Every structure is written in C-alpha cells, then in structure tokens.
C-alpha cells in the first residue's frame, strides 16, 4: 500500500482573507466613523452643509486640528504622549508674533525662528523623558502649564500688559511667503469655475468659495508625507519598533533615543505650524490660543487607530479622525441640536475608539 502523501502548509505563508486584512488596518474605525457621521448629517442637517462652501467650513477647523493630530499620532505610534502641544500653539504664536510685530522680521526669518524654538522645546521634552524614565504624560503635562504661563508673561512683556498681540496682518502684508501660510489657494481657478457656473456665486458674480484654505493643503500634504514615512521608509519601521518594544528595538540596532526625540520635535513643530497659520489668519495672537487642543488631537489620533500602548496606528487614521471632529463641531450648527452635545460626542467617540482598537489589537496579536 502506498503511503498517503501529506502536504504540510507553512502557517507563515498562509493567505489571509480580505476581511482579515481589512480588520487589521488601524484607520478602519476612523473611516467607518466618517461614513456614519456623514450619513447622520445627511438626514439631520441643512443641505447647505454639503455644498462646497459648507465642506470648506468644516474642513478648515478639521485641518488645523488634523495637523496637530498627525504629529500626535506619530508620537503615539512611537510609544509616547505630548500633552503640551496645545500650549505650544500659544507659545509658538508668541514667538512668531514677537518676531514679525515687535522686531519687524520678515517671514523668511521669523518662521524658521519659530520652528527652531518649538523644536528645542520638543527636544527638551524628549530628553527629560528618556533621561529620567518618567512617563511622557507627566513631563509634557508639566510643560503644558510651563508653556502656557510663559506665553502669558511673554505677551504682557511684548504688549505692555495685554495678553493679546495685534498687528500681525499688517506686519506680514506683502511678504512673498504670506500666501503659503494664510488665505486661500487657487483663487484664479475658483474665479474661473464661477464664471462657467461650476461654483456657486454671490449676486455680484464673486465665487462663494474664493479658494482652498491653505491649512487644508498643509493638512493633506502632512498626512501624505507621514503615511509615506511610516509605511515606506526605514525610519517608519523604527517608529513602530520603538513604540512596540523599546528594549527589543534597541537590541536590534534601532536608535530608539534619537527616534523618540525626533518625534517630540516633530509634534512641537506641527503645533508651531498651526500657530503660524492661525496667527496670520486672525492677525493677532493670544495666550488662550490652542487651549485644550492637546486632548482633541490625542483623541483624534486614538479614533484614527493609535493604541495607547504604542507600536500601532496610522497617520491616515488621524486624518479621518480630525475630519470627524470638524464635521461634528461645524455640522451641529446646521442642525437644531444644542452644540454642547459635541462634548458628549467627544467622550463617546473616545470610549468607542478605545474599545474598538483594543478588540483589533487582540485580533492582530492573538491575545485572549
């Protein structure tokens, strides 16, 4: 009798179903959230919400939060938190405002100075965390208060007692870098689209949407760049490894210390970018700028699939998480609902996201 041949399939080359691969994507929950929130507002909100001008209305705050959320997501994937990014927006706004108004510096000098100050504070955060072994939650919580206090004192010194520094718009008017950080892009294109009837216009023929707010373009560009870094570069692998198991990554030759400090610097620079954009748009800066944004950014990152334990997450997930925020904050104004329901939504989405991400983590790792 011939022996029956047995074919042994190596589990390492076993094919996964499309559903299994889809469930492992960290941004799945955020994309599903965008779909559900969109459906909700399609039935409850005024139809104007989903016109071009309505979309720009909710994408603008989403973009500002999203820039912070992408930086927070990168840092969370690396296994750390930064609770000081909201205060960093105020601090960077102080530095930028003082440069252009008090010292009269052109943007080509003022902007790099602002980023350098932000990066130095981010590096200091990271160095303290790594040198002392203290949780980044505690260290950056301390800097949340330090930076907010420095912003208050600094603004009073720069303005003879006021906590608001005005005159930014006049100071940067005519600078060749202003259109990169303020206003709307592609104005000529939208004017042409209005002429041929593809964009809504006012009675005088001017387009209701004059262009794409520049923060939306920065938001998209940053999300694409962060996604490419995470998925297509060795540095991205180092980020995941550093957040997943610091000791194992270090033993494998990953420069964990350098990676984590660079992520703290990146997060601080994202806050500085938001500060520059918002200060130039508003024409002034104040000590309350960025208040509570650190929590919203982290929640957007968690909704986007980042695990609180590190080593898992997605920049695209944070992108969609921020869009959910923008849709709800602005969308409630198109409905008859009390806008304070946003706070309920905030807590509910955080709880759902943590439960969902915990379920996905167990599916990926096989943990019971």
3-class DSSP state for residue 174? Answer: coil
Highest mean pLDDT among 165-179, 193-207, 335-349: 165-179
3-class DSSP state for residue 336? Answer: coil
CB atoms within 10 A of CB 54: 20
Contact call for residues 151 and 87 (beta carbons, < 8 A): yes
DSSP annotation of 201 reads: B
- pLDDT tens for residues 101-149? 999 999 999 999 999 999 999 999 999 999 999 999 999 999 999 999 9
Q: What b/e sequence results for 293-321 when a residue is b if at least 16 CB atoms lie within 10 Å of its CB, and e otherwise?
A: bbebbbbbbbbbbbbeebbbbbbbbbbbb
DSSP annotation of 293 reads: H
**Mean per-residue pLDDT, 159-171:** 88
**Mean per-residue pLDDT, 281-286:** 92
CATH for 29-39+48-361? 1.10.3470
Residue in 291, 278, 289, 298 with CA at minimum distance from that of residue 346: 298
Average pLDDT, the chain: 88
CA distances (Å), origin 109, targets 116, 151, 231: 11, 21, 33
Whole-angstrom Cα distance, residue 301 to residue 160?
A: 39
Token code pair at residue 136: 């980044």
What per-residue confidence (pLDDT) applies to 16?
59
Least confident among 17-21, 71-75, 132-136: 17-21
């Amino acid at each position: 009798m011939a022996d029956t041949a047995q074919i042994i399939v190596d589990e390492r080359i076993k094919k996964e179903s499309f559903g299994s691969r889809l469930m492992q994507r960290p941004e799945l929950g955020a994309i599903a959230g965008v779909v559900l929130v969109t459906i909700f507002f399609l039935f409850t909100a005024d139809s104007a919400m989903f016109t071009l001008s309505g979309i720009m209305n909710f994408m603008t705050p989403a973009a500002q939060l999203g820039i912070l959320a992408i930086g927070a997501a990168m840092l969370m994937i690396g296994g750390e938190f930064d609770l000081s990014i909201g205060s960093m927006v105020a601090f960077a706004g102080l530095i930028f405002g003082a440069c252009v108004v008090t010292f009269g510096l052109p943007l080509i000098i003022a902007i790099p100075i602002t980023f350098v100050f932000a990066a130095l504070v981010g590096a200091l955060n990271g160095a303290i965390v790594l040198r002392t072994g203290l949780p980044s939650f505690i260290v950056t919580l301390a800097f949340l208060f330090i930076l907010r206090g420095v912003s208050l004192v600094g603004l009073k010194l720069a303005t003879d007692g006021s906590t608001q520094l005005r005159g930014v718009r006049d100071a940067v008017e005519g600078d060749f870098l202003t259109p990169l950080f303020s206003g709307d892009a592609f104005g000529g294109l939208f004017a042409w689209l209005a002429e041929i009837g593809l964009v809504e216009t006012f009675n005088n023929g001017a387009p209701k949407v004059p262009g794409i707010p520049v923060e939306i373009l920065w938001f998209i560009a940053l999300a694409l760049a962060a996604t490419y870094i995470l998925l297509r570069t060795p540095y991205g692998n180092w980020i995941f490894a550093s957040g997943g198991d610091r000791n194992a990554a270090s033993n494998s030759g990953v420069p964990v210390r350098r990676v984590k400090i660079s992520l703290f610097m990146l997060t601080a620079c994202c806050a500085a970018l938001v500060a520059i954009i918002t200060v130039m748009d508003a024409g002034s800066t104040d000590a309350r700028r960025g208040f509570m944004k650190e929590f919203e950014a982290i929640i957007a990152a968690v909704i986007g699939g980042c695990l609180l334990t590190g080593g898992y997450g997605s920049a695209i997930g944070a992108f969609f998480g921020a869009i959910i925020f923008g849709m709800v904050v602005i969308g409630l104004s198109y409905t008859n609902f009390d806008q304070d329901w946003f706070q309920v939504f905030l807590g509910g989405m955080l709880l759902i996201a943590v439960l969902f991400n915990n379920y996905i983590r167990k599916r990926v790792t096989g943990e019971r």
